[in-house]
Amino acid sequence: MLDQIYIQMRAMQVLNQTQDVTADNLANINTPGFKGNKVFYNMMRDELNGEEVIRSVPQSHVDLSQGILEPTGNELDIAINGDGFFMVEEDGQKFLTRDGRFRMDSDGNLVNGNGAGVLGESGPINLSELFRTNNNDGGSVMLEISKDGSIKINNKVIDKLQIKNVNDPAVLERQGGTYFSVKDEIDLTDEGTGKVMQGFF
């Protein structure tokens, strides 16, 4: 009798975790930059009342397959075509994200929808030169973000987006809808990152 209860309890736990992952993926289906989870099952040997039993254990990992990029016409919407993550900093913590819907705050800092600073190779990216250039000559200002992440204002490079990849997707820890983190920065790499696409998400 206890064996049957145990088996039914495990089955309910498996079903519950699968439903939770599916519900989260569906709830964020229209969230730009969201990467859903995939559920898979590992077969484990266990002992129950002195007998060996085989049970399935649900596990999940982040699905990093490429989504469809859509043009927006907004020069601060930035997507990555291929692997890699933007780096942002919020409340002193660094996060990885694929959500590149950026904007400028009142101080000229490049931020995301949460107000987190977008990081470049020199630290938080500041685009206040856009205002200075416009005020100085009154002419048009061209902001260009190259496929390698270089940020240019009127052909002058001012910074480069910090884009990171992970050696093993299993190390990614979800921190809310579109944020991820890793326990050790040694798990991050500059290799194998995709191309930056300006005006897309």
Please report which confidence band the pLDDT of residue 139 belongs to, taking 50, 70 and 90 as the band edges: low
**How many C-beta atoms surround the C-beta of residue 20 within 10 A?**
14
Looking at residue 15, its pLDDT comes to 62
Per cent of the chain over pLDDT 70 is 68
Domain definitions of the chain by residue range: 2-62, 78-198
Mean pLDDT throughout 85-91?
A: 97
The pTM for the full model equals 0.76
Mean pLDDT throughout 130-154?
A: 83
d(CA 15, CA 113): 34
